[in-house]
Amino acid sequence: MIMMMMTTTKHYTFWILLIFSISMASCSTIPSLGAPEIGINYGRYGSNLPPPEAIPSLVNSLSIKHVKTFDMDPRVTKSFANTGISLSLCIPNDKIPILASNASEAESIIRTFILPYHKNTIITSIAVGNEVSLMPQFSSHLVSAMENVHQAIKRYRLHKKIKVSTTHSLAILSRRFPPSAAIFHKSIAESVLKPLVRFLQRTNSPLMVNVYPYLAYKQSFPSIPLDFALFQPMNNSKRRKYTDPYSGVTYTNLFDIMLDSVDSAVKSLGLPKIPMMVSEIGWPSSGDPGEVAANLENARVFNQRLIQHLKRRGWNKIPVYIFALFDEDQKTGATVEKHWGLLYGNGSRKYDLNISPPI
């Protein structure tokens, strides 16, 4: 996870105004539309993590059937063979320039990391890089690299089974609020994101976005109420709400606002709506002194309510990947980076999480 928020003074001003416009509202019950597809991100920056061979049983114990990785390690891919658990793999950022300029490199990657394993391991997608849209050294090569990887997969007639995409942080938005007026940064809107979204639409692949309500809450504190970021309970007759002044859409949580902002930014390019995969989402269980909202109970509440919310929305076609499977004590940066896991590094659970909860 790369925490790139790039919040501007204008964003802060909006949320300061928002706190005054959030009112109390009763909400009617939304009918259940099926179980959501919940996935998990499997990062390995930990000093005491279980070996890859032990991961499938841990994932199964959480009732999770989709795993997203940050590399293409054959040991990991092989460990999920014949488990019924799907994998989303990732090509490292530094491979992007050569993938763009050399189609044979893409061919080599598919022959080495996909062909020996795809018959026994369910591989559903490959992300070309992780959050590189705002990195000029990679973004200028990104779409060409994705195209070459797709063509290599198509050559082996696997393109309907394995989709090619890339992950984005919400830093790609220069304006986020109100959501109906969201737009991408001018530096990448036409040159990177427009051809990228067109590629995804043409190949029937999802737009991968990393969505972190915790980061938006933290950077806009105290303007955003904590319960608005934590998915307010459905049975609360005094739920807070925010109504977009342009679209008239009313929101009762921050997650929906963030997703609709991406939808609006795509629309601002003159392109139709595209299916989105939430490639990372979660809440930390600990942080630096002063980060009081980063605690174990809030992490449990957020992830449980996220699952309930996805079920009410009928989000049952594209997986939503919680970040993350493990705490990772070798992560650099702020303390909070080390504490997003559902499990401690030794594999024990931090808290119970019901993946298919009753509404």
Q: How far apart are the first and last CA of the chain?
A: 30
The one catalytic residue among 131, 147, 328, 337: 131
CB 203 within 8 A of CB 271: no
297 noted as active-site residue:
no
Q: What are 208's strand-pairing partners?
A: 167, 277
Which residues 6+ apart lie within 8 Å of 267 measured at CB? 273
131 noted as active-site residue:
yes
Exposed e or buried b for every residue in 60-80, given b needs 16+ CB within 10 A?
eebebbbbbbbbbeeebbebb
The one catalytic residue among 37, 105, 147, 280: 280
d(CA 62, CA 55): 11
Backbone angles phi, psi at 40, to 5 degrees: -140, 140
State the angle between helix axes of 136-155 and 194-202 in degrees (0 to 180), rounded to the nearest 10: 10
- Catalytic residues, by residue number, are 131, 280
